[in-house]
Structure 1
């Protein structure tokens, strides 16, 4: 220890003496040392790089060329072993031993060049070549060589040998506009760098030395000789065994450049907006992406026969919220907007947000799954919704109305629930296309009056599915950040926030019942009897078709995956027969076929409670209706008790109704009867043969005051414009009513003026003049109904 201190003390004394005796030389030396330290730029390379998107397994999905027109990928994070060996053996055999330059190689090169009278040999190490590449454009003179030598030694101090190799592999020229090992591997062999064989690695190793050799069809013999000499050197040094060497010699040289993969071009453009010039590790599953591309391409061949040119697919993992497949459009042409990303495009939602209303009303305690909802001709403040099939059910269970995507029940439910309340709830889902106030959309909001994107719809349903999963996985708890944006970058993880006993927006029970209803949607052709096959997948799914057949949607949900499909024309042109069921659903189920089978959702039992409901109406039970027990979300229930059942008095053979005017009430037979209002009954009994209309009163009984007829068309306070036929004459306004006793005679009046009578089929055509009118219908028993209209 004492000897060390003595040595340090002696060295300090010598340094002090030198500085004291030679101050100018010392200052000069210090300046040179500082200059040497700062002579190397902090960042050696700053050229623009390509935007590169890779799958979650590291496979190349696509790339955008750098701004300077060069195929130059961002710096590699590692150099494959085969290329590392090939490049050091070919360019710099003493790479791991020298300090940045090799004096012996330099002297040999100078001697050879002087003897030949021209440059025939280079003595640069890989480190010096990295410096030369970073000083792009400098003339290759001896003075420049001196500068390179100094900078090379400085580079060796800053970086490790492996880091210097990575810089070389990232910026070495490989012919044409190809820069860097990664691009060269793709362009010349269609492979990733780590997949290259010994022969392929050797070919690329000799190219930076003479990059012009790679042009297809030119200098093939020279390139082959250079490659084989390198392979021979590897064999002689024992790096390659005899078999590997002989097989490597047999490999052919590349004949033409390969195109870079274009597996997810629209995702590439989407990510390039915020990550230009970066190497992006995405969440995409490469195999699934390829399958989705193939599925869409197959269906596009049929769609374009109907002049439908665009479609998109999005697949998400429910648990991680990662995007697994992103197909932004079909392989169409520029004339049909092939570059438009239809995953992000806002389009008319059609019926795709009906499940959100259904869930909202279940969650609010204002709806029961089997509750009857009117499905009759409807006019609300001048708005007349129609079902897609232009037919009516009279009354339909709420869950079946959702499964059949009936428009009129949806509009009636939205009006009952509250347009403004539902519009405010939609803000929670961050559906960016829905950005107008409630009054702007009106009741058309639920039928496609608003716009959204495939991206936003899929993330919404994924969050709903995840709500059920998390509720069952935890102690019946929710996460306060359940409804979050999808994850597209592999490095990111979803943050669900903190656990809470309070629901995020909808409770798990309401969402579960919604998915149960969506599971019953009739599947497209070829999938009708899916439930009878063990291999079939239980999928909650919803279709949507916008007005004019411009947009066709299908969204499917399982415990593990959400798949969304949009089909249409990017320019908004509608086409006949473009519907969610016929155009989008077949693609949806083909995608689910290539996904792993997913179990159905576990029922969130803690969110349910048993209640008694009327078997026929689905409303809360009364003491006069047949009942059944169902489970509903555990919350305050605001659904009314059943009003469709009432007690009636019948004679002994139950043919006629009785009342106190014709019989002693105590002697009559009392029975509960399921009764719908006349208009609902008119349509309901057509598709429900077991429905029993009320029996007529016995002749000696006075008719009770009860509604017996109702206008089907027109509705009260309608504003009507009469159209002309092909001959230029006005078409008649056809009046129509529903009567509980169709055989009754009905007398018609227009503004107190008698028009005529009808029996059995209560319809009458009239031509009223412009202005306000009152239409009255009176049956033979004196029952009366009327509406006010205005002819424009």
Structure 2
């Protein structure tokens, strides 16, 4: 140490120069050798290539890969730099031989560069091949050898060497020339790729086959001579043919690649996609597209989520259609009209709030809210129907009436809590049509919401009946992401577990829509809670289903919004849904969340909690919040004679002969439609004629609806058709008196229909029964 200090003191200038040279040598090599744009690459959960997007400079150049297959490593070292593991970055003997031969010939005949030097030359973008440049390469190569390991240097070379055409790097070359990853290449294929960088502009597959074959076989012979392969492997290898032309790179998940590239451009991204499932879903979509396109329906999307991990297992953003039909558009995150797909959330919200029991009867009758007149898909009415059945059959009128009863703002709050990003306006903007497709959402958010509900149930059963604070989190398609569900809590996140479970019990029902179509695509052994939806004008068809383990979402339609006849959820989206579920393992059904439920007596006919007058009672588990619902309002105690033919009272019958009997009674309008679907419905018996009092009666208009604008068509002979007015009365035997604009037009008894031909303009119909009850209805006759 003393000598060094003395040397520096006595030779300050030389020491300073040496120090500057050492510092310059240390910093002469850039921290980042290569700054070329790279291809965006996505792989599956097991590292299979799903797709790649070409680099911005038009080159197929995969991101740096530090993993090099042993076969290629052996081939490239034997072909390019046999002493690679022994030299310090340059090979003096090779340089001497190259210099000797080049001087003799008067031109550059031989390179003599090591792999390390070639890495430096590649990083310097083809500087002129002068002796001064060669000196620079040697200096930089030695610096690189000091900074990086031999394997790292090899990875630089294999990732950035040219392989002919616009193919750069081993990974891209392997897929372009052999249609598989470098790890799957044979010795002959690895040898072929090892010799391509030596003269990429002259020799590449499809050209100069003889020269390429000779070079490859010489390399294989060298591998044999150096005992890197045995004689059998050698014979089999030289028998292999050469690639003739480049293959297109796999495009198994092109729309996911498009989505990933927005935030990870030029990177290699490992996704959560199950490659086998993805390919099979692609095949399903292709088959259905071939059928749907016959009806000019060109687009569809499918998303499959793992409920427990919230990972995306399959992502099909569109069909394999053409550019004219927007094949490159990723539908999964695009806003579309929701149709009926939000109805389960309303049902769950009403259960959760204690406003409803699962089978409570809800009205299904002609309904009008101002100018809004919702109708069921099949244009018919059931009068009254259990709420769960109304959901499973996706009836529109009960849904709108339930929304009106629950509260538009209240339901809007629940939807905002689901984090539906396309729900951008306040509740009044959507109105009651919110439940029938008045709002927009996307397949991603809807599947996310169903997955959150399923996961809530799973977690509630797996823990000590607890919830998680971050249950409604975003799914992920990035393998590097770990979903955090937050902290455990005894408080529900949004819906309680019982409300979700009871909603899913309803969604298990499959006999919808109301037609008699065969349900050939449903495997009854699979228990799936699912819902379809169809937007107004047949523009969007939805089907979303969930099991304990998976959520599958399907959208079908045209990306440009064109509607098509037959574009309904159950006919176009549901078959795809169940084809995909057939690919997934069967799941056990959700465990019943007993801690959020209570078994109580329920009126079998009405679905309400029992009242003293209910005559048919069953025990059912309901959500705890449902305990505050009102008792059955439809069962009343009436007094009938011995034959139960007439109602009687003390004015006309001896008390000993009066039977006190519970009776199921619906309001007139509900009863009018209910009895057409329920032949065993028994209306209240009439009062015996000799009885006094008991005149309670009610009536409602069936037609026209309030403020209807009506056009009266004409027959072929030019005669204007009648307008048929209809009333439902709780005592049909009563006499009703009809007035139009205060003018008496007649009376009816038993059947309360009145035919009139009113003049053009506004009118008011008034009906009075014999007990003095009165109803009015305004309407307009159009010309």
TM-score, structure 1 as length reference: 0.95
Q: What's the offset of the Cα at 1:158? A: 1.0
Answer whether contact 2:708 2:778 (CA < 8 A) is retained. no
Q: Is 1:562 equivalent to 2:571 in the alignment?
A: no
Q: Which of the residues 264, 270, 282 maps onto 2:271?
A: 282
- 1:40 and 2:6 equivalent? no
SS at match of 2:87: coil
Report the secondary structure of 2:776's partner residue.
strand
- Give the alignment partner of residue 459 of structure 2, picking from 470, 490, 500: 470
Q: Which residue of 1 aligns with 2:625?
A: 635
59, 62, 66: which one aligns with 1:77: 66
Residue 352 of structure 2 is aligned to residue 352 of structure 1: no
Note if 1:366 corresponds to 2:391: no
Quick check: 1:264–1:289 contact (8 Å CA) kept in 2? yes
Deviation at 1:339, TM superposition (A): 1.0
Q: 1:551 aligns with which of 540, 549, 569?
A: 540
Deviation of the 1:212 alpha carbon: 2.8
1:333 is displaced (CA, Å) by 0.6
Distance in 2 (CA, whole Å) between partners of 1:83 and 1:761 is 92
Match in the other structure for 1:9: none
What's 1:589 paired with?
578
The partner residue of 2:219 within 201, 218, 230 is 230
The Cα shift of 1:191 comes to: 0.4
Q: Structure 1's 759 and 247: CA in aligned 2 closer, same or farther, altered over 3 A? A: farther
Q: Which residue of 1 aligns with 2:775?
A: 785
d(CA) in 2 for partners of 1:434 and 1:500? 28
- Matched position secondary structure for 2:621: strand
Q: 2:765 aligns with which of 750, 770, 775?
A: 775
1:646 equivalent among 633, 636, 642? 636
Unpaired runs of 5+ residues, structure 2, are none
1:754 aligns with 2:744: yes
Deviates more, 1:753-762 or 1:352-361: 753-762
Of residues 393, 401, 421 in structure 2, which corresponds to 1:412?
401
Could you tell me which residue of structure 1 aligns to residue 705 of structure 2? 715
Q: Does the CA-based 8 Å contact 1:649-1:665 persist in structure 2?
A: no
Measure how far apart 1:537 and its partner are.
Answer: 0.8
Paired residue for 1:239? 228
Is it true that 1:425 corresponds to 2:414 in the alignment?
yes
1:165-194 deviations in Å (ceiling 9; x for gaps): 111111000001100111000000000111
Give the conservation status (yes or no) of the 8 Å contact 1:734–1:765: yes
Q: In structure 2, what is the equivalent of residue 324 of structure 1?
A: 313
Gaps (5+ residues) in structure 1? 1-11
- Tell me the SS of whatever aligns to 2:444: helix
After superposition, what is the alpha-carbon deviation per residue over 1:189-233, rounded to whole angstroms, capped at 9, x for unaligned? 000111111110000000000113454432000000000001011
- Match for 1:490 among 476, 479, 497? 479
Matches within 5 A, 1:399-548: 399-522=388-511, 527=519, 536-548=525-537
CA deviation after TM superposition for structure 1 residue 687, in Å: 1.1
Q: Deviations over 1:598-642 (max 9, x none)?
A: 111111111111111211111111111122111111236332111
Question: Partners in 2 of 1:529 and 1:686 — Cα distance?
Answer: 31
Aligned counterpart, 1:334:
323
Q: Which position in structure 2 is the counterpart of 1:668?
A: 658
Q: SS where residue 556 of structure 2 aligns?
A: strand
Looking at structure 2, the residues matched to 563 and 96 of structure 1 have their Cα atoms a distance apart, in angstroms, of: 53
TM-score by length of 2: 0.96
Work out whether residues 207 and 213 of structure 1, in 8 Å CA contact, stay in contact via their aligned partners in 2. no
Counterpart Cα distance in 2 of 1:355 and 1:506: 12
- Alpha-carbon distance between aligned partners in 1 of 2:764 and 2:649, rounded to the nearest angstrom: 34
2:249 to 260, 270, 283: 260
Question: Which residue does the alignment assign to 1:102?
Answer: 91
Q: Say if 2:39 and 2:266, in contact at 8 Å, map to a contact too.
A: yes
Is contact 1:678-1:707 (8 Å) kept?
no
SS at match of 1:748: strand
Name which of 675, 679, 699 aligns with 1:685. Answer: 675
State the secondary structure of the residue aligned to 1:44. Answer: coil
User: What's the offset of the Cα at 1:698?
Assistant: 1.0
CA–CA distance in structure 2, aligned partners of residues 482 and 265 of structure 1:
29
Does 2:725 correspond to 1:739? Answer: no
- Structure 1 residue 593: Cα displacement: 0.5
Aligned twin of 2:386: 397
In structure 2, C-alpha distance between the alignment counterparts of 1:513 and 1:124, rounded to whole Å:
74
Give 1:120 shift.
2.1
Instruction: Give the Cα separation in 2 of the matches to 1:486 and 1:297.
Output: 26
Partner Cα separation in structure 2 for residue 138 and residue 528 of structure 1? 68
Cα shift readout 1:712-762 (whole Å, capped 9, x = no counterpart): 12234x252547669999876542222345566544210221223456654
Contact kept? 1:44, 1:134, Cα under 8 Å:
yes
| Residues 1:529 and 1:611: Cα distance change in structure 2 (over 3 Å) | farther
**Residue 580 (structure 1) aligned with residue 569 (structure 2):** yes
The 8 Å contact of residues 366 and 637 in structure 1, kept in 2 or not, is answered as: no
Counterparts in 2 of 1:3-82, with a 5 A limit? 12-82=1-71
Cα deviation, residue 429, structure 1:
1.1
State which drifts further: 663-672 or 58-67.
Answer: 663-672
Give the Cα–Cα distance (whole angstroms) in 1 for the partners of residues 500 and 729 of structure 2.
Answer: 40
Match of 1:6 in 2: none
